[in-house]
Amino acid sequence: MNIQVNRRSLLAGAGALSVSVVLPGGKARAAVFGADKRPPLIPQNLSSYVSINADGSAVCYWGKMDMGQGTDLGSAQMVAEELDLPIERVAILQGDTGTSVNQGGASGSTGIQMGGTALASAAAEARFQLVQMGSKHLNIPADQLRTENGAVISKADAAKKVTYGELIGGRWFDTQLEWNNQIGNALFVKGAGTRKPVAEHKVIGTSPLRRDVPPKVTGSGDFVVDIKVPGMVHARVIRPPVAGASPVSVDEGSVKDIPGVQIVREQAFLAVVAPREYDVVKAARQLKVTWSDVKPPFPGNAKIYDHIRAAPVLMKGGDKPVGDVEAAFRNAAKVIEATYEWPFQSHASMGPACAVVELKGNGEAVLYTGSQKPHFTAEGAAAMLGLPKDKVRGIWVPGPGCYGRNDAGDAAADAGLIAKLTGKSVRLIYSRADATGWDPKGPASVHKARAAIDKDGNVTAWDFGSKGFSRLDVNSNESAPHDNLAGQMTGVALKPTHIFNTPEESYGFANKRKTWETIPPLLDRASPLRGAHLRDPLGPQIHFASESFIDEAAFATNTDPVAFRMKHLKEPRDLAVVKAAADKAGWQPRTAARKQQTGDVARGQGVAYAQRNGTRVAVVAEVEVNVRSGKVWARKVTVAHDCGIIINPKQLTMTIEGNIAQSLSRCLHEEVKFNDKNVTSVDWETYPILDMVEAPESVEIVLINMPNIAPSGAGEGTMRPFAAAVANAIYDATGVRIRQAPFTPERVKAGFV
C-alpha cells in the first residue's frame, strides 16, 4: 500500500509509520533491501528524510512548514529532481515531530535555502543507495547504471531495469548520512550520493501548482481552528487592562449562569474554559476581575522616539568599520545627516492564534499548532504541561499566516498550561484584541545617518547608527517558558537577548561605520510590546533609513539615485538587480525631486535596494500623492529579484507579490498605538492594514535566475528595501522627505507645510 499522507491516519500509528509491502503486479523481489520498520527518527538516518512507496513514488519528511509561499512544493521539487521522479510522484510531509526531524520550522526565509537543500542532499544519497540496490538486483556494476523516472536502468540496455518500488517500496532505507550535528535551520546531512548537475535539471525551474490551494479555496482543508479532539473544552484567556497587572480576585458569580464554566488561574495567568465554544466567549466577556494596581508602564506611542533617544544603552554592536570615519568627517567639505523613525508593528495575523492540546491519558500529549516552528513549539507546550519534551508530539496544521514570531507560540504554551491545570484536552483561540494587542511586536527604532562629502562632491564617509528595542525580548523558537507569555505570567526567570542589526549592502565608501544600540524594554515581563521577529526582523526599518539616506546623499551630490547606486555598489549581483529594476520600470534620471503635479495629484518614482542573506532585491515604486489629502497610492511597483537558482518561478513570483502588498501595508499604515497603560491597537480599525482599493495597479517582477548559485530565500527580501522605495518616490513627487513611518496622510501633509 502507499504511505498515506493524511494526517489523521498518521496519528493512528502513534508517531511511527508502519506499512505492509505489496509489490505491484505481485512481482517477486530478487533481494530484500532496507528495513521493514522505520529506523529511529534521528538526523543521521536517511529514512528520516525520504522513503519509497510500494508503487515507487516517494515521500519526503520536512522539519519545516510552509504557510502558503510554496516552499514545501519547492523542496519536494528538489527531492524529485535528485530522485529522478516527476513531481507528481513526490509527496512532502511537514512540520510534524512524529514524522520529521527538527529543521527549524519556517524561519528567516530558509525553507528552500536550508530546508530544501538538506532534503535534496538526502535524496541524492537515496538515489545513490537505489543504484547500489539496482546493481545487486540486476547484477550490473553500479557505474553502468543510470536512473530515470523512478527506475534504475542499464546504460547499455534499457530493457534491463528495476523500479524503485520493486527495490525498496513500502520499506525503509536503513543507511546513514553524515550529519553536521546541528538541529534547526542549520541542520545538514550528506552521503556518498552527489547532487545532479544543473544541466540535467528537469523539475527544478518548473512551476507545478501548489497542492494546498484547492482545499483552501473549496473549504475542505483543516485549519487549527477545525481540529477537534475527544473530550476537549474550549478556552479563552483574560489579559490585564493595564500591562503588568495581575488578577487580585475573580468573581466566580459573574459567570455562574453559563453552563460548565471553569476559571483557570495561576499567578498572573487567567483563563476560562467551557464545553461549548460560545459559552466560553460569553464567560470571557462577563467575568469580573479585580486587577492589581500597577504603575502604568508606557510613555505612549506619541513619545516613543523621544523615549528611545533618551533611554540608556543596554548593548552595543556593529560591523567592522572601514577606513577612518572620524578623520573623513573632520576633513569633509560638507556633512549631511538625517534621522529616521519606525514604530512598533504587530503581526496582526489574519486570525487570532489557536492551539489544541490533546491529553492522551498515558502521560503523552499532542499539540496542534499553526506556529511556524512546531518542533520548538511542542517543547514550549511540553514545558507548560510539565511533560518531558519527547512526550508531546507537535503537529503543524495550517493557521492564519504567521510571518515571524506571532501569537501562535503563546497560544500553544497557554493551551499547555490550561490543559495541565484542568486535566482536560483544550482548544484555545484568542480574541482579536488578544491577537493584535498582545502578540509579540516588531520593535520601534530610531536611525541616524551621516555622510561626509568632499569639495568635489564625492561621498568620503558613511556613518549609520540604529538605536531601538531588541528584536529578541522573546526568542522565535518558543521552546522555553521564558519566551512565552504563559511562562512570563507564571513567574519564570526572564532571559531576553539584546540584539539589533545593520544594513546589508555593498556600497564601497572608503570610510564606513555601521553600529547599533539596544535599550531596555518598556516592561520587562509579559509586555504587549515585547520585541520579537516580524517578517524580515528589523530589515524594513533599517533599510527604510539607510536607503532613504542613500537617496539624500545622491541628491546632495547632484547625482541621479540609480546612477549613485550604480557608482558605489561593489557586488555585480547588486548592480544587476538595480539595473534590471530601473530598466524594467523605465527609470527617468533626475538630480532633484521632479515634483510632477497635475491637479491635486503629484507623481514620483523612487528606487531602493538591499541584500538579505544572499538574496538581492531592488524595488522601483511609482506613487501618486494627493497633495490635498496627503494620501499615497503606489500605482506601479517593479521588483528585480535574485535569490540564486530559481526552483519554482510561479511560486517565487507569488511570494514576491505578497511581499509587495504586505510591505506597502507596513509602510503606509502600520503603527501600534499605545497609551500609558496598554496597547490600544486591538483590531482592524485601530490597526489598519492595506485595503484592496490601495493595491497597486500594476506589478512587474524581474526574476534573475542564477543557475550556478545555491538558492537563497525569497520570503522577506522584497520587504527590506520596499519602504525606502516608496518614501523616495514620495520625495520625487512632492519634494517632501518622509523620515517617519508609516507614511500616513497626516504625516505626508505635514511635510507640505
Partner 1 sequence: MEGDAPVCRKRRDPVAKIDLNVDGKAHVIDADPAMPLLYALRDDLGLKNPRFGCGLAQCGACTVLVDGVPMRSCVMPVESMTGRKVTTLAGIQKDGKPHKVQQAFIDEQVPQCGYCLNGWVMTSVALLESNPQPTDAQIREALTGLKCRCGTHISMLRAVKRAAQA
Per CB under 8 A, residues contacting partner 1 are 67-69, 209-210, 212-214, 216-223, 225-226, 257, 276-278, 281-282, 285, 348-352, 398-403, 429, 431-433, 650-651, 654, 657-665, 683-685, 689-693, 695-697, 699
| All cell numbers assigned to 204 | 527544478
Question: Least distance in Å: CB of 561 to partner 1?
Answer: 25
Cβ closest to partner 1, residue 557 vs residue 638: 638
Provide DSSP, 521-540. Answer: -SSSSS-TT-B--BSSTTHH
- Kindly state the smallest distance separating residue 633's Cβ from partner 1, in Å: 11
CB 482 within 8 A of CB 494: yes
Please state, in angstroms and rounded to a whole number, the distance separating the CA atoms of residues 406 and 429: 14
Taking each helix axis from N to C end, the angle separating 649-668 and 719-734, rounded to the nearest 10 degrees, works out to: 50
**CA pair distance 54, 26, nearest whole angstrom:** 11
Can you tell me the distance from the alpha carbon of 16 to that of 515, in angstroms, rounded to the nearest whole number? 49
Q: How many CB atoms lie within 10 A of CB 519?
A: 24
The residue ranges of DSSP E strands in 282-349, in sequence order, are 288-291, 315-318, 334-342, 345-346
Instruction: Report in angstroms how near the CB of residue 315 gets to partner 1 at its nearest.
Output: 32
Sign of the four-CA dihedral 707, 709, 712, 718: negative
Residues 6+ apart with CB under 8 A from 745: 626, 629, 630, 631, 632
Map residue 618 onto helix, strand or coil. strand
Please list, residue by residue across 322-331, b when 16 or more beta carbons sit within 10 angstroms of its beta carbon and e when fewer do. eeebeebbee
Q: Is the dihedral of CA 590, 592, 598, 603 positive or negative?
A: positive
Q: CA-to-CA distance for 96 and 188, rounded, in angstroms?
A: 18
Whichever of 23 and 281 has its CB closer to partner 1, that residue is 281
If the CB atoms of residues 636 and 749 are measured against partner 1, the closer one turns out to be: 636
Is 731 or 743 the residue whose CB approaches partner 1 more closely? Answer: 743
Which CB, 491 or 649, lies closer to partner 1?
649
> Shortest approach of partner 1 to residue 13 CB, angstroms?
24
CA distances from 94 to 368, 401, 627 (A): 13, 16, 50
Q: Which three cell numbers stand for residue 7?
A: 494526517
Residue in this structure with the C-alpha cell 509561499, named with its chain if needed: 69
**Cβ-based nearer residue to partner 1, 210 or 533:** 210
Nearer to partner 1, 281 or 314 (CB): 281
Complex with partner 1: residue 219 or 253, whichever CB lies closer: 219
Q: How far is the CB of 298 from partner 1 (least distance, A)?
A: 22
Q: Could you tell me if 606 and 620 are in contact, meaning their C-beta atoms sit under 8 angstroms apart?
A: yes
For cell 539595473, the residue is 579
Q: How far apart are CA 728 and CA 746, in angstroms?
A: 18
For the chain, the farthest-separated pair of C-alpha atoms sits apart, in whole angstroms, at 86
For 408, list phi and psi in degrees, rounded to 5: -65, -40
Residue 216 CB, nearest distance to partner 1 (Å)?
3
Between 38 and 373, CB nearer to partner 1 = 373
Nearer to partner 1, 276 or 307 (CB): 276
Nearer to partner 1, 651 or 712 (CB): 651
Least separation in angstroms between CB 215 and partner 1: 8
**Are 190 and 181 within 8 A, CB to CB?**
no
For residue 694, what is the DSSP state? G
Q: Directed axis angle between helix 649-668 and helix 539-556, to 10°?
A: 80
Residue closer to partner 1 (CB basis): 43 or 374: 374
Give me the least distance between CB of 503 and partner 1, in Å please: 24
State the nearest-atom distance from the C-beta of 496 to partner 1, in Å: 27
Comparing CB distances to partner 1, the nearer of 124 and 284 is 284
d(CA 341, CA 630): 19
**CB 222 to partner 1: min, Å:** 7
Measured from the CB atom, is 221 or 317 closer to partner 1? 221
**Residue whose entry in the numeric block shows the C-alpha cell 514570531:** 405
The residue among 380 and 715 lying less far from partner 1, judged by its C-beta, is 715
Q: What is d(CA 243, CA 672) in angstroms, rounded to the nearest whole number?
A: 15
Which cell goes with 338? 538625517
**H or E element, residue 52:** strand 50-52
Q: What's the angle, vertex CA 220, arms to CA 217 and CA 221, rounded to 5?
A: 90
Edge to edge, what strands does the sheet with 459-469 contain? 315-318, 511-519, 459-469, 445-453, 334-342
> CB of residue 168 vs partner 1: minimum separation in angstroms?
34
Least Å distance between CB 228 and partner 1?
8
Q: How many residues does the chain have?
A: 753
Supply the angle between the helices 408-422 and 374-385 in degrees, to the nearest 10. Answer: 30
CB of 692 to partner 1, least distance (A): 4
Rounded CA separation 197/194 (Å): 9
User: What is the residue whose three cell numbers read 538605536?
Assistant: 467
Identify which of residues 297 and 528 has a Cβ nearer to partner 1 in the complex. 528
Tell the smallest beta-carbon distance from residue 209 to partner 1 (Å).
6
Asked if 115 and 103 count as a contact pair (C-beta separation under 8 A), the reply is: yes
Q: How far is the CB of 69 from partner 1 (least distance, A)?
A: 6
Minimum CB separation from partner 1 for residue 705, in Å? 20
Closest CA to 621 of 570, 591, 653, 582: 582
**How far does Cα 56 stand from its chain's mean position?**
34
Instruction: Give least dist CB 288 to partner 1, A.
Output: 15
Q: Which lies closer to partner 1 via its Cβ, residue 293 or residue 685?
A: 685
Spell out the long-range contacts of 256-259 with Cβ–Cβ below 8 A and sequence spacing 24 or more. 258/282, 258/283, 258/286
Name which of 225 and 453 has its Cβ closer to partner 1.
Answer: 225
> CB of 443: closest distance to partner 1 in angstroms?
19
